[in-house]
């Protein structure tokens, strides 16, 4: 009775933290089974924990090569962890509740509201139904197209298996692959089918289910919400800027785009612009990029995807609000106005809090790893930002991490998937009503 009461008294952020932690440890146990590896030897606890965390937090950083280390059983476990982690364990629990025709309680709706970053519970169950429908439909389409393409390169059964696995991992922005030798999709840099299908899956999973729902309803409503307009415009801007910057910086680099023809340069620059949006797959060698490009990708990974999506980072809306605040301040205006809508001060403070907490987390982890790991600072910063943004891109440092480094990066992936603010709410004291306000003070800034 007391255990049930304690569970009921947990806040939604605390339940989310405990739920994701439980899935990670279940996945760790399954990946440690001898049946999960190709050799039949159990995977070590630290490596299994890292892999389970990376899959559940839809990151894609790996300490062992997925395609050569894990058996079909282990790969299916990873795929299921990615699916559960990408959609959220509460979304999956709601699916079973709907199938069993069980009533969704108020507590469940509050947790779903927190998980989907919604401002209210209104229509939350309807949104979850759409999330499940859209996700399975998009993944199925991607799986069919990839299976058809890879049927030309491998046996049909293997092509279908690869198509399903990579459709799930790319839509959920996880970045795991089965091609072996840590090469990701580098063998398909010229392939238009693989490039466009994978990029579509990544962007679809990264813009968020709220935006997907808005786009599908556009024919009826003939309008988009402010949230969708901001997400779509900022996503398009980041993709365009990323493509141009990477193309310019890497155009003559013989280790990346320099050795490719015009088609390869186009696909290579475009794909590497899309993948830092928390996807983690790559078609050119990340370690071969120039330092300026690598640092630029760090910035893209830090921004990440959009709220209510399968991706991480501080989110496109947070970045947009911060840019809007800077522009408003430079113009001497009090309000941040976007698409003829004024943003509440609370939204601005929340965006600033998320960005600052994320920056402190990335810098602190990078500073600690600089004392425990071998590698230059850019490599460490790149790996840490990739973990926080649940991206999965790597400059090759992850497989060589110490046990301490693996655990710290695992915790960073966990914090990045849940979000620094959700984690702060879960670990901090309960919010109480302010009984009084202090007198206003003045302080010189700038």
Q: What is the pLDDT of residues 142-177, one digit of tens each?
A: 999 999 999 999 999 999 999 999 999 999 988 899
- Is the pLDDT confidence value at 4 over 70? no
Average pLDDT over every residue of 218-242: 89
Q: In sequence order, which residues have a C-beta less than 8 Å from that of residue 426 and are 6 or more positions away?
A: 11, 13, 14, 16, 17, 418
- Whether residue 112 contacts residue 90, with contact meaning beta carbons closer than 8 Å, is answered with yes
Q: What is the pLDDT of residue 134?
A: 85
Long-range CB contacts for residues 342-347, cutoff 8 Å, separation at least 24 = 347/321
- Whether residue 420 contacts residue 354, with contact meaning beta carbons closer than 8 Å, is answered with yes
- Is the pLDDT confidence value at 113 over 90? no
Q: What is the pLDDT of residues 340-363, one digit of tens each?
A: 889 888 888 889 999 999 999 999
The dihedrals phi and psi of 261, each to the nearest 5 degrees, come to: -80, -175
- Is the pLDDT confidence value at 432 over 80? no
Residue with tokens 């010189």: 444
- Is the pLDDT confidence value at 97 over 80? no
Domain boundaries defined on the chain: 12-424
Q: What is the pLDDT of residue 77?
A: 96
Q: What is the pLDDT of residue 181?
A: 86
As a whole number of Å, the end-to-end CA separation of the chain is: 56
Average pLDDT over every residue of 14-21: 81
Two tokens, residue 133 = 């429908």
Our measurement of the distance from residue 380's CA atom to the centroid of its chain's CA atoms, rounded to an integer in Å, reads 19
Q: What is the pLDDT of residues 171-227, one digit of tens each?
A: 998 889 999 888 899 999 999 999 999 999 999 988 888 888 888 887 777 788 888
Q: Which of 353, 357, 368, 358 is CA-nearest to residue 390?
A: 358
Our measurement of the distance from residue 386's CA atom to the centroid of its chain's CA atoms, rounded to an integer in Å, reads 9
- Is the pLDDT confidence value at 99 over 70? no
Percentage of the chain beyond pLDDT 70 is 84
Q: What is the pLDDT of residue 3?
A: 45
Q: What is the pLDDT of residues 322-337, one digit of tens each?
A: 999 999 888 888 888 8
Q: Which of 412, 417, 387, 400 is CA-nearest to residue 60?
A: 387
Q: What is the pLDDT of residues 27-41, one digit of tens each?
A: 999 999 999 999 999
Instruction: Report the distance separating Cα 340 and Cα 17, nearest Å.
Output: 37
Residue 292: Cβ within 10 Å count = 13
The string of DSSP codes covering 46-90 is HHHHHHHHHHHTT----SS-HHHHB-HHHHHHHHHHHHHHHH-HH
DSSP state, residue 341: E
Buried b (16+ CB within 10 A) or exposed e, 355-365: bebbeebbeeb
pLDDT band (50, 70, 90) for residue 1: very low
- Is the pLDDT confidence value at 125 over 80? no
Q: What is the pLDDT of residue 5?
A: 41
Long-range CB contacts for residues 46-50, cutoff 8 Å, separation at least 24 = 46/403, 46/406, 46/407, 47/406, 49/24, 49/25, 49/406, 49/407, 49/410, 50/406, 50/409, 50/410
pLDDT band (50, 70, 90) for residue 133: confident
């Amino acid at each position: 009775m007391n255990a049930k009461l304690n569970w009921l008294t947990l806040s939604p952020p605390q339940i989310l933290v405990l739920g994701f932690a439980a899935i990670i440890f279940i996945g760790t146990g399954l990946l440690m089974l001898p049946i999960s590896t190709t050799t039949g030897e159990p995977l070590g606890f630290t490596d299994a924990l890292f892999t389970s965390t990376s899959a559940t937090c839809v990151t894609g950083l790996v300490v062992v090569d997925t395609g050569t280390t894990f058996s079909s059983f282990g790969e299916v476990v990873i795929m299921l962890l990615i699916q559960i982690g990408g959609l959220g364990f509460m979304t999956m629990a709601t699916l079973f509740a709907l199938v069993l025709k069980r009533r969704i309680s108020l507590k469940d709706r509050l947790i779903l509201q927190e998980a989907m970053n919604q401002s209210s519970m209104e229509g939350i169950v309807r949104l979850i139904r759409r999330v499940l429908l859209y996700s399975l439909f998009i993944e199925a389409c991607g799986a069919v197209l990839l299976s058809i393409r890879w049927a030309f390169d491998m046996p049909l059964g293997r092509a279908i298996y690869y198509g399903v696995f990579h459709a799930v991992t790319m839509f959920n922005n996880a970045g795991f692959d089965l091609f072996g030798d840590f090469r990701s999709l580098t063998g398909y840099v010229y392939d238009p089918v693989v490039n466009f299908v994978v990029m579509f899956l990544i962007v679809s999973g990264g813009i968020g289910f709220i935006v997907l729902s808005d786009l599908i309803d556009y024919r009826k409503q003939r309008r988009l919400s402010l949230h969708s307009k901001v997400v779509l415009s900022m996503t398009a801007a980041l993709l365009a800027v990323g493509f141009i910057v990477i193309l310019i910086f890497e155009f003559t680099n013989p280790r990346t785009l320099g050795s490719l023809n015009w088609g390869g340069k186009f696909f290579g620059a475009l794909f590497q612009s899309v993948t830092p949006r928390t996807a983690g797959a790559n078609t050119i060698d990340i370690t071969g990029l120039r330092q300026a490009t690598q640092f630029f990708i760090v910035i893209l990974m830090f921004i990440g995807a959009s709220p209510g999506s399968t991706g991480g980072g501080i989110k496109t809306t947070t970045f947009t609000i911060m840019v809007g605040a800077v522009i408003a301040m430079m113009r001497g205006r009090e309000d941040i106005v976007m698409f003829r809508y004024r943003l509440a001060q609370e939204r601005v403070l929340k965006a600033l809090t998320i960005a600052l907490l994320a920056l402190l987390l990335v810098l602190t982890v990078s500073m600690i790893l600089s004392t425990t790991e071998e590698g230059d600072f850019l490599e460490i910063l790149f790996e840490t930002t990739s973990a926080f943004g649940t991206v999965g891109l790597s400059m090759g440092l992850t497989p060589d991490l110490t046990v301490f480094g693996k655990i710290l990066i695992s915790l960073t992936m966990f914090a990045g998937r849940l979000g620094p603010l959700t984690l702060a709410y879960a670990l901090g004291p309960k919010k109480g009503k302010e009984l009084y306000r202090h007198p206003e003070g003045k302080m010189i800034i700038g």
